[in-house]
Structure formats: C-alpha cells, structure tokens
Amino acid sequence: MKTRILIVEDSPLVTDAFSVLFTEAGYDVDVAATVAQAVERGGERPVDVMLLDLTLPDGDGLEIMEALRKRACLPRATLAMTGHCDAASRRSCIEAGCADVLIKPIPIRELLRQIERHLA
C-alpha cells in the first residue's frame, strides 16, 4: 500500500505544486485547506505523513495535532511548515508533537529526504 501524505495548506497554488510532487514521488496524496478539513481527513483513515502549515483560515495548525491526538489518530510523522520560525514557535511545534519544523519554501529534494527520514 502506498504511503499516505496529508498536505494541510490553505493556498491552492502550494497544494497543487505539492500534489504533483508527491504523486510523482509515489505517495497517496490528500489535501486539506482548513483545521476542520484536516481533522476530518486525518480521522477518516490513517495518515503516514502530515505536512502542516501553521497559519490556517480557521485557526492555528497545531490545533489539528490536539484534535487528532484525542481521536488517537495522529500521523506517524508531522512536519510543520512555516515562512518564519523563531525558537519559541519551534518549541511549541515540537511540544505539540511535530517531528520537525521546515522553513518554506523547502527545496524538493530536501523535503523528500526529510519525509523518508521521519518515516524510517
């Protein structure tokens, strides 16, 4: 079975680009543009990797982690994505259960490498 990746990001431009990338790289791709959608998608069936934008139209991306943890369906690895990250935001992401915080835009080779590393 293919590795399932959930892209949580409110910009369709970015989700389109990532969908092409991960589909070509052999992943089963799903997308969510809001906190509510991400919680729904994440609860439907197990997610291996979640790429999580921290700023979403209906709330903070980290709320998704909390909601999925309550439903006992946290992804195997969650990588937070942000345009800017200081030490305090990084700490909140790691405390919320993210495996790492990536600064956007992430070169695609680096992104694929990070995902493989966290799934290993």
Partner 1 sequence: MSSADRLEPAALQGRIDHLEAQAREAQRTIDELNARDSLKTQFLSNISHDLRTPLAAIITHAEILREGMLGELTPRQRDSVAGIVSGGQQLLDMIDEILTYVRSASDQVTLVRTEFHITEVVDQVRILNQALAAKKHLTIERLNGDDLPPVYADRDKVKHVLGNLIGNAIKFTPDGGRIWIGFSRRGRDGEELVVEVGDNGRGIARDHYELVFREFAQVDASPSRPHHGTGLGLAIARKLVELHAGRIWLESELGKGSRFFFTLPLNPKLDQ
Which one, 76 or 90, has the nearer CB to partner 1? 90
Alpha-helical runs (H) found in 1-120: 12-24, 35-44, 62-70, 87-96, 108-119
Token code pair at residue 28 = 């089963």
Which one, 1 or 87, has the nearer CB to partner 1? 87
- Which DSSP letter does residue 46 get? -
Angle at alpha carbon of residue 24, lines to 32 and 45, rounded to 5° = 40
Which one, 67 or 111, has the nearer CB to partner 1? 111
Location of structure tokens 């197990």: 46
Whole-number minimum distance, CB 84 to partner 1, in Å?
7
State yes or no: cis peptide before 46, omega within 30 of 0.
Answer: no
Q: By the criterion CB under 8 A, which residues form the site for partner 1?
A: 11, 13-14, 16-18, 20-21, 24-25, 83-84, 86-87, 104-105, 107-109
Whole-number minimum distance, CB 6 to partner 1, in Å?
17
Residue 34 in contact with residue 56, Cβ under 8 Å? Answer: yes
Whole-number minimum distance, CB 17 to partner 1, in Å?
4
Whole-number minimum distance, CB 21 to partner 1, in Å?
5
Which one, 67 or 115, has the nearer CB to partner 1? 115
